[in-house]
Amino acid sequence: MNKSAEVSVVEQCKLLDLSRSSIYYEPEPLFSDEQLAILNQMDEIFTDKPFYGYRRVYLDLIDQGFIVGRDRVLKYMRVLGLETFYPRKRKTTIPGKGHKIYPYLLKGLDICRPNQVWAADITYIRLTKGFCYLVAVIDWYSRRILSYRVSNSLDTAFCLDALQEAIDKFGAPEIFNTDQGCQFTSQDFTGLLKTYGTQISMDSKGRAIDNVIIERFFRSLKYENIYLREYRGIPELREGVFNYMNFYNYKRPHSSLANLTPVEVYEVNKEVRETKQQNRKLVLQNAV
């Protein structure tokens, strides 16, 4: 038996006459700088071209000067949770064993008001020396981000925290849509939704476009913030994402929302929205 295992680090330092502050464990990173650069570039490729398979991704990387083999590209697609044709997050959407899968309820549904349908998903977020994950809850009708959480692991807890915060602030939705990831199919997550009488909807297998609203938001977040900032760590990322969320919700007009902001659509009644839109048209006509 290793006797040193029975002696604390402090005692070992005393015995060897060493300073305790000079002895510490430095964790070895999971990926080298070179590997992270490839992962990050693959994330950009799929954000821009979600229909690419690994062969096209491989050629794109080679054209950009990366030294990488096709087998490694295929392996990294699994790390990022991507699979051919659809940008389906395999790593973040593995159903839990024995977890119930619910039907997709949004096909043909007229989504016409706030809090009728919410959606959630998880995405990979790059950092300069690693990566983490972000979960966000969005109101489908208004595109408002209701809550979000950042985590360095894919556990259920950070998804539950985001869901509970959204419900505490805005009440429960009629329908909640997610993919079939184990975080969302877990008893804790679905049980919380059932407590509030919310209907549970899940994407069909292999159908990333079923949750297209949250996917579009992630694309905007990455192009308008993450790729421009190069965050060094999670604390800095949290501050940057907080600022972006405020911009996105309160100041960023959406063409799909008649150039209103998500908060304007979520909080303002239809009559006021129509009046504002009419005023904008009059201003544009007078300007011409």
Structure confidence at residue 4 as a pLDDT band (50, 70, 90): very low
| Residue (of 65, 67, 69) closest to 55 by Cα position | 69
- Token pair listed for 167: 């419900």
pTM over 0.75: no
- Token pair listed for 231: 């965050």
pLDDT score for 142: 96
Q: What's the one-letter identity of residue 13?
A: C
**What percent of the chain has a predicted confidence (pLDDT) above 90?**
42
pLDDT score for 35: 78
pLDDT score for 45: 74
Picking from 5-9, 79-83, 207-211, which range would have the lowest pLDDT averaged per residue? 5-9
Structure confidence at residue 95 as a pLDDT band (50, 70, 90): low
**What percent of the chain has a predicted confidence (pLDDT) above 70?**
71
The mean pLDDT of 219-230, rounded to a whole number, is 90
> Does the structural domain 117-252 have CATH classification 3.90.226.10?
no
For the chain, give every domain's residue range.
33-80, 117-252
Q: What is the pLDDT of residues 146-181, one digit of tens each?
A: 999 999 888 899 999 999 999 999 999 999 999 988
The mean pLDDT of 113-138, rounded to a whole number, is 92
HEC string for the chain: CCHHHHCCHHHHHHHHCCCHHHCCCCCCCCCCHHHHHHHHHHHHHHHHCCCCCHHHHHHHHHHCCCCCCHHHHHHHHHHHCCCCCCCCCCCCCCCCCCCCCCCCCCCCCCCCCCCCEEEEEEEEEEECCEEEEEEEEEECCCCCEEEEEEECCCCCHHHHHHHHHHHHHHCCCCEEEECCCHHHHCHHHHHHHHHCCCEEEECCCCCHHHHHHHHHHHHHHHHHHHHHHCCCCHHHHHHHHHHHHHHHHHCCCEHHHCCECHHHHHHCCHHHHHHHHHHHHHHHHHHC
Phi, psi of 42 (to 5 degrees): -65, -40
Phi, psi of 230 (to 5 degrees): 55, 65
pLDDT tops 80 at residue 62: yes
Is residue 177 within 8 Å of 105, Cβ to Cβ? yes
Structure confidence at residue 226 as a pLDDT band (50, 70, 90): very high
The mean pLDDT of 71-93, rounded to a whole number, is 60
| Rounded CA Rg of the chain | 23
